[in-house]
Amino acid sequence: MAIFVLILLQLFPGDSFESKLQNYLSEKLSDYSRFTFKVNSLPVNYSRIEIDDTRQLRISNRYAFLPVQVYDAYSNVNNSFITIEIELYKTVLKANRKIERGEALSGDMFDSIEAEITSIKGTPVFETEEIAGKRSRTIINEGTVLTEELIEPVPDVFRDSKVILHVIKGSVDISVDATARQEGRIGEIIRVITTDNKIFRARIIDKQNVLLED
């Protein structure tokens, strides 16, 4: 269950709204290990404020926008948002050593730690299962929180890999030995060079076979 800290710079009228706000955020932010939030200001000239469950709570970086209905002294209602500063905490993966560009990733390269994620640039990676079949897109320094922007799938075919180039002529499959000039994944088109130094574009079928596209 999420743990929260509430800091109010202005008091809500009565305890009912404060209690509803605490329960509302605990439900909406239940995916996080804990969170803190702070309401800096409230609408002016209101008699009461109600959370509007018909609209979505919006979160952008360090801010949450709480949908509310604001009532004045004459019971007129206005749809509005209250801006809340938030800090969200969740278990993420932190590199326990320097990882070179293009290095295949494994779980022993990372420690699972709780971190405040709203200040992290990018989309954090939360589970080691998410890095299966992935490699580093760039150098990842020790202590860096892993994000999706730092990783990419490991290619099915690497540059300079030996492949078989298939050329379909009617019902005949002609195959020749070739070498990949580019890396790529299944379904992508790469350049290959044959043993007689002819370059072709070919679609990757699997790790050993490509199909002529020209």
In the structure, what pLDDT confidence band is assigned to residue 46 with cuts at 50, 70 and 90?
Answer: confident
Answering whether pTM is above 0.75, one says no
Query: Per-residue pLDDT for 11 more than 60?
Result: no
Q: Is 29 left (phi over 0), alpha (psi -120 to 50) or beta?
A: alpha
Within the chain, strands assigned E span: 3-8, 34-39, 48-51, 58-60, 63-71, 77-95, 110-116, 134-136, 151-153, 162-169, 172-180, 189-194, 199-204, 209-212
- For residue 18, the model assigns a pLDDT of 75
Q: How far is CA 181 from CA 139, 177, 198, in A?
A: 24, 13, 11
pLDDT band at residue 5 using 50, 70 and 90 as cut-offs:
very low
Q: Domains of the chain, with CATH numbers?
A: 3-88 (no CATH), 89-153 (3.90.1210.10), 162-212 (2.30.30.760)
